[in-house]
Amino acid sequence: MTSLGADVPLERDDFSSNRHPALQKGHPLSKPTSSEYVRGSLYGLAAVSMWAAWVVAVRYGIKTSLKPWDLTAIRFGVAGLILLPYLLKKGLAVDRLGGLGLAAIMLGGGAPMVLLSYGGLLFAPAAHAASLYTALIPLYVAILAAIVLGEAFTVAKRIGLVLIVTGVLGIIWGAGGTIGSLQNIGHAMFISAGMLWACYTVAMRKARLEGLHAAAIAAVGSLAYLPLYGVMSGASLFNAPWQDVALQAFVHGFLVAVISLLLYGRAISLLGASSGSAFAALAPAITAILAIPILGEWPATSDWIAMLLISSGVYIASGGLLPARFALLRESS
């Protein structure tokens, strides 16, 4: 059986209508098996663990010698060169993505999204980035996937998203989020980045594009950012300690921009756009846990409660197994 991630040509409107068999109730691609759920969950957990690492790494980089635009250049300079041979072999897949889909991949997975998410950290703390950007990705994707792909917005998914949003608001409140301050600039940037990422996710799912293929299009397309960065920043990057540059190149250019997107694509192909993206909501919890040994920061009691709500919401929204008496929630819309 051909997997969803395989490069199989589709008609342009295959996923634009509920007539497509993959969207029909009972079709094997509309509901993952237990084995597929486990595999998709492992892919999603691995990907989001790497995303949590970037939040910590960006915070470290900004506190030392690097700026958001430096980190963006490092990310796509490394990832673009690594993935260039692969993209030359596979092509841009314009016949499957269309012009709008190609733009969604390049903008949502490329330099514009990264500049927004990294730049927001100049105005708001890392906890807000993990909450308003990464953790709310399931909400952004669920809404867009329901409109574009016709993915069912089931009762179980609604319950899961409510738990996620409640937990996210708890983390922001605990981190001192305020209205009418410079923090709100960062908040707007995080939300904008999340919406761009939702467009990337839905475009990849609609075209049934492999995760590595989508990552290659975004990374190589973002090489166009480097000349602009060179004109604006000159040689400032070369003044940074090589250890800092090497660390960020490994985390952002390899782990996040290549490996995590490959794993994320696998999760999306197995679980669907909205269910697969639900694991992104675990980012605040994983970030908080990583911050204990790396940054020496212990979460407050309210943070632990919020993380429990988010984790429960992810499990339900992603299609986790439920007791028999609640199983009908997954089938309800």
Q: Where are the domains of the chain?
A: 32-331
Query: Of 12-21, 89-98, 243-252, 300-309, where does mean pLDDT reach its minimum?
Result: 12-21
Name the pLDDT band for 28 (thresholds 50, 70, 90): very low
The DSSP letter of residue 136 is: T
pLDDT recorded at residue 320: 58
Tens digits of per-residue pLDDT, 285-299? 777 777 677 666 676
> How far, in Å, CA of 271 to CA of 30, rounded?
8
Reference 133, options 229, 48, 251; nearest CA is: 48
- Looking up tokens 């020496």 gives 296
pLDDT of residue 65: 75
HSE of 317, CA atoms in CB hemisphere, 13 A = 33
pLDDT-based confidence at 196, cuts 50/70/90? very high
Give the integer Cα–Cα distance in Å for 280 and 190: 14
Helix ranges (DSSP H) in 208-300: 211-221, 225-233, 242-248, 261-271, 273-277, 283-295
Q: Any residues with CB less than 8 A from the CB of 333 and at least 6 apart, and which?
A: 152, 153, 154, 155
The model's pLDDT over 85-144, given as tens digits with 9 standing for 90+, comes to 999 999 999 999 999 999 999 999 999 999 998 888 788 777 677 777 877 777 788 888
114 or 329, higher pLDDT:
114
Residues 6+ apart with CB under 8 A from 166: 306, 309, 313
Measured between alpha carbons, how far is 311 from 211 in angstroms, rounded to an integer? 24
29-83 confidence digits (pLDDT tens): 456 778 888 888 899 888 888 877 777 777 677 766 788 888 899 999 999 999 9
What's the average model confidence in pLDDT over 148-152? 81
Write out the two tokens for 153.
């917005």
Q: How far is CA 227 from CA 69, 222, 233, 280, in A?
A: 12, 10, 10, 32
pLDDT of the residue at 18: 42
The alpha-helical segments, DSSP class H, found in the chain are: 34-64, 68-90, 94-108, 111-119, 126-128, 137-148, 155-174, 183-207, 211-221, 225-233, 242-248, 261-271, 273-277, 283-295, 301-317, 328-331
- Which amino acid type is present at position 300? A
For the chain, state the CA radius of gyration. 19
Residue 226 has pLDDT above 60, yes or no: yes
**What was the pLDDT predicted at 31?**
66
pLDDT > 90: what percent of the chain? 24
